[in-house]
Amino acid sequence: MRRTRFFLAAGAALILLFSSGCSEKISKQTGLTDADLFARGQKQAERKKYSAAAEAFQVLVERFPSSPLAPRAQYGLAVNRMANKDDVEAEVAFDDFLRLYPADPRVPDALFMKGDLLSRQVLSPGRDQEKTREAIKAYTLFLEREQGTPRAREASGKILELRNRLALHEAAVVQHYLTGKLYESAEARARWAAATYPDVPTSPTLLALLAQSLEKQGKKEDAAAVRKSLAEKYPDAGEKKPAAAWSLAGAYQSRQPYRGRRGRYEFTLQPRYVASKEIGADGGSRLELDPALGFGAGFGYNFTNKFALHLDGSWTRSDYKAKITTTD
């Protein structure tokens, strides 16, 4: 017997049409002034409709690039793109704002927010760290313009954390070289990293890895000197094993911020198995269901991080056997 299950949430097509219609509506309207568009963007932002707010600001800067409201609209565009989790578009908008309006009083705000935007895109140690370096640069530029404030202290702390992430990345690379018995490369990388990141929590691990790479090459005196320096600078970390680099990297990866599922398509394919069953009936009759294999497939789209529509189905094949017991 073939069994088919099919579930579809009604209204998906209507929602798509409605959302696409709204996104085109304001861009096709004529007669709107820069003040009208700016007011609409502010209103949508207050209602936390960030996509609609960004669209209003986008239309303003495109239609009225010389307007006195253009700098504020460009900044609003970047902020609302960021709030809407449109990271790529937000980064472009921040870059445009900083390039077009370098003397604007909101430049420090833009640099700080760009640092936050880039920080939430960083990858775990052992992977590409370009976003980490860009975030450090944004926070550093911010500190050149704002010092002695609570936000400046926050930015300094974030720079330290990001630098430690880079040091952790270097520790992972050195460990990889050691595992591959590339001891000279491990020494060079560990020596450079220890000199570049002497002020971060991962610094003891880098020194321990440097000592290990020297020992593997038979440079016992150099290794002893490094271990002595390690014990003097970090008395509590002198006995820690370099393998801690991998556990620290895993800890950083587990702390990665949730990036959300909004705007993502999903496809699932799973095996299904129906176990054999015996169903009793009146008079001693039984219905036996043979075991059977099957599969399930699903497709969906995430409209937000919490709302999605999915189409799922499963197929299995099994045979039924009826055993009837009669009584006089």
pLDDT tens digits for range 171-219: 999 999 999 999 999 999 999 999 999 999 999 999 999 999 999 999 9
Provide the terminal-to-terminal Cα distance of the chain, rounded to the nearest Å. Answer: 32
Residue 268's pLDDT band (cuts 50, 70, 90): low
Residue 60's pLDDT band (cuts 50, 70, 90): very high
Q: Which residues pair with 297 in a beta bridge?
A: 269, 313
Is residue 152 within 8 Å of 140, Cβ to Cβ? no
Structural domains in the chain, CATH included, are: 29-165 (1.25.40.10), 167-254 (1.25.40.10), 265-323 (no CATH)
What pLDDT is stored for residue 163 in this prediction? 98
Q: Where are the alpha helices (DSSP H) in the chain?
A: 12-28, 34-46, 50-63, 70-83, 87-100, 107-119, 130-145, 150-179, 183-196, 203-216, 220-233, 244-254
Our measurement of the distance from residue 296's CA atom to the centroid of its chain's CA atoms, rounded to an integer in Å, reads: 29
What pLDDT is stored for residue 273 in this prediction? 53
- What's at 160, amino acid-wise? L
For residue 121, what are the CA distances in angstroms to 89, 174, 256? 13, 24, 9
Residue of 139 and 322 predicted with greater confidence? 139
What would the pLDDT profile of 252-265 be if each residue is shown by its tens digit? 444 444 445 566 66
What would the pLDDT profile of 124-180 be if each residue is shown by its tens digit? 998 999 999 999 999 999 999 999 999 999 999 999 999 999 999 999 999 999 999
What pLDDT is stored for residue 300 in this prediction? 72
Is residue 173 within 8 Å of 189, Cβ to Cβ? yes
- Alpha-carbon span 15 to 305, nearest angstrom: 16
Residue 28's pLDDT band (cuts 50, 70, 90): confident
Strand 2-8 and strand 308-317: pairing?
Answer: antiparallel
What pLDDT is stored for residue 265 in this prediction? 65
What would the pLDDT profile of 278-313 be if each residue is shown by its tens digit? 556 555 555 555 566 666 677 677 766 556 676 766
Is pLDDT at 84 greater than 70 in this prediction?
yes
Residue of 56 and 270 predicted with greater confidence? 56
Mean pLDDT of the region 235-244:
57
Computed over every residue of the chain, the mean pLDDT equals: 81
